[in-house]
């Protein structure tokens, strides 16, 4: 067995935090055993960095798998409905704001033309010449 590396305790601390992300039932049943396995792996490895990467990768995939496995479509229906409403509200708000901005600036060219015309009339320009232009 190799001597535990300097950063093994840090890896284990991060791993412990990661294990906390499992759902309660799984965590209560297997967390201690998983930590013990991780500890043994780190104690026996000759390349702690590779083992840390292996543990992180396994943890990520396993977390994903466990959460997907426990999320049946029926049980997740309220959360999915909430997500649907929230997504619709955010997308709708974004659409309305962009439309409103577009509408508010739609008259800008016409207003500018009228203001320019009024200014030229005030400066004494002939109205007939102005309308021809």
Partner 1 sequence: MSPNHKNPVAPLTPAVFHIMLALADGRKHGYAIMKQVEVNGGKSLRMGPGTLYGSLQRMSVAGLVEELEDSNDNDNDDRRRYYRLTAAGRRALGAELARLRHALGASTRKGVLASAGTTSE
Q: Write out the residues near partner 1 by the rule CB under 8 A.
A: 26, 29-30, 32-34, 36-38, 40-41, 54-55, 57-59, 61-63, 65-66, 69
Pick 56 or 120: Cβ nearer partner 1: 56
Nearest approach in angstroms of CB 13 to partner 1 is 16
Pick 21 or 83: Cβ nearer partner 1: 21
In terms of Cα–Cα distance, which of 29, 31, 34, 38 is closest to 9? 38
Rg (CA), the chain: 33
**H-only helix segments in the chain:** 8-19, 24-44, 48-70, 77-106, 108-122, 127-132
Nearest approach in angstroms of CB 90 to partner 1 is 34
* Tokens representing residue 125 in the block: 């320009």
**Inter-residue contact 121 to 127 (CB < 8 Å):** yes
Pick 49 or 83: Cβ nearer partner 1: 49
Pick 29 or 75: Cβ nearer partner 1: 29
């Amino acid at each position: 067995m190799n001597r535990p590396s300097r950063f093994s305790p840090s890896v284990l601390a991060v791993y412990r935090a990661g294990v906390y992300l499992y759902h309660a039932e799984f965590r209560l049943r297997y967390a201690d055993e998983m930590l013990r396995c991780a500890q043994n792996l780190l104690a026996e490895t000759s390349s702690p960095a590779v083992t840390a990467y292996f543990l992180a990768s396994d943890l990520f995939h396993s977390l994903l798998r466990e959460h997907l496995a426990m999320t049946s479509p029926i049980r997740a229906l309220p959360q999915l409905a909430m997500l649907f409403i929230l997504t619709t509200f955010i997308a709708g708000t974004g659409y309305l704001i962009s439309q409103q901005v577009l509408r508010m600036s739609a008259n800008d060219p016409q207003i500018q033309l009228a203001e320019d015309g009024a200014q030229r009339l005030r400066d004494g320009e002939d109205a007939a010449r102005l309308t021809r232009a």
